[in-house]
Amino acid sequence: MEFQEFMLAMAHGVQRELPGDVEVRPQAIRKNNGVVLQGLLFHKEGQKSAPTIYLEPYYQAYLKGEDFFELANQILSCYQTYAWEEVPRAEHFLHYETAKETVVYKLVNYRQNAELLKEIPHLPYLDLALVFYSLFVHAPLGPATILIRNTHLDMWGVSHSRLYQDAKENTPRLLRPQISSLWEALDGPEAEGEQSVHQEGRPPFYVLTNQEHVNGAASLLYPDMLERCAALCRGEFFVLPSSVHEVLLLPYSRRIETGKLKAIVREVNQKQVSLQETLSDLVYFYSREGKKLLAL
């Protein structure tokens, strides 16, 4: 059974087991870097929010031999467990005075998201874009998010600058930064502070993310963060965009060839990072004189 046939059959099978006031229909959701995920949208009459359950993992399980009807029961169980929570609540999101405390930002690739950026407020940054979303930390399945669109700003009557100012205040508070040694992260427990770790034969890489390890590359834009990184690296440094979730910091050295760094980033993006989580193929350099990042 091909995926489209699987999706239609699953929608029909799940629909038969639900009451008449719940409509199940296939839904395509555009994600980061142009990735489109297919799922089932569950719309209950009278509710303003509608959960979507993505089908790719279930289809892969089906291809590996799992029973179709057992998978349908798993989807039903997932929906019935969390459908009535309505988290985040639509009423909370209708008015900016209640929604503003949840507004945060993240970094995405500008070119890869060109079509999406036409529909959402954003700020260009190097080859990237700063985009905004609402973060609901205490959702039943873990943190839930809603991407903020131009239509939301129209509904709220809020300017781009107001949105940015609130996100600038909220993001470091809700998604606290975390810096650790790459080698400690790989070899053992993550570093608690920002102490320099130099191990013989290993370049002193550091990982910058946030404590949730989600959309942590945006930590670069926190107030005074570049200066903190410069102090840790004892001067100028390179930034390698590992993914949308984290970046690597490498203290500057004359012996480092930027061409090799770019090659490393491209190879990691191609072989180890999913398209949806890729941030950039470029390498950045923190200039002590200009006190800002430059794209190399």
Q: Are residues 231 and 129 in the same domain?
A: no
Task: State the DSSP string of 7-41.
Answer: HHHHHHHHHHTS-TTEEEEEEEEE-GGG-EEEEEE
In Å, what is the CA distance from 295 to each residue of 27, 51, 117, 240, 241? 37, 39, 21, 11, 11
pLDDT in the model for residue 34: 80
Which of 174, 202, 231 finishes a domain?
Answer: 174
Residue with tokens 């509608």: 50
pLDDT given for residue 137 in this prediction: 63
**Torsion angle, CA of 134/169/237/129, rounded to 10 degrees?**
40
Question: Which residue range(s) make up the domain with 238?
Answer: 177-295
pLDDT in tens, 125-152: 999 999 999 887 655 445 578 899 999 9
Same domain, 15 and 101: no
Tell me the pLDDT tens digit for each residue of 63-116: 999 999 999 999 988 887 765 555 455 566 778 998 899 999 999 999 999 999
Q: Do residue 146 and residue 190 come from a single domain? A: no
Q: Are residues 160 and 268 in the same domain?
A: no
The reported pLDDT for the residue numbered 189 is 46
CB contact burial 189-217 (16+ within 10 A = b; e otherwise): eebeebeeeeeeeeebbbbbbbebebbbb
User: What's the number of domains the chain is made of?
Assistant: 3
Q: Are residues 144 and 187 in the same domain?
A: no
- Answer yes or no: do 10 and 59 share one domain: yes
Whether 241 and 132 map to the same domain: the answer is no
> Could you give the CA distance from residue 70 to residue 80 in angstroms, rounded to a whole number?
15
pTM of the model as a whole: 0.77
272/274 Cα distance (integer angstroms): 7
Q: Last residue of a domain, which of 28, 53, 85?
A: 85
31 and 57 in a single domain? The answer is yes
Buried b (16+ CB within 10 A) or exposed e, 89-106: eeeebeebeebbebbbbb
Report whether pLDDT(248) > 60: yes
- Contact in structure between 40 and 24 (CB atoms under 8 Å): yes
Q: Where are the alpha helices (DSSP H) in the chain?
A: 3-16, 56-63, 68-82, 90-94, 96-99, 114-117, 150-156, 160-174, 182-187, 225-232, 258-271
Contact 28, 16 (CB under 8 A): no
Quote the tokens at residue 222: 């926190």
Assess whether 147 and 227 both reside in one domain: no
Please say whether the dihedral angle defined by the alpha carbons of residues 185, 187, 191 and 195, taken in this order, is positive or negative: negative
Q: Report the SS3 class of residue 292.
A: strand
234 shares a domain with 134: no
pLDDT value, residue 31 = 83
Question: How many other CB atoms sit within 10 Å of the CB of residue 160?
Answer: 13
Q: Do 69 and 18 share a structural domain?
A: yes
What pLDDT is attached to residue 77?
Answer: 86
Q: Which of 14-18, 120-124, 140-144, 186-190 has the highest mean pLDDT?
A: 120-124
Q: pLDDT tier at 250 (50, 70, 90 boundaries)?
A: very high
Last residue of a domain, one of 174, 195, 223: 174
The pLDDT, as a whole number, for residue 202 is 59
Contact status, residue 41 vs residue 24, Cβ threshold 8 Å:
yes
Between 255 and 86, where is the model more confident?
255
The mean-pLDDT minimum among 62-71, 189-198, 263-272 falls in 189-198
Domain check: are 17 and 61 in the same one?
A: yes
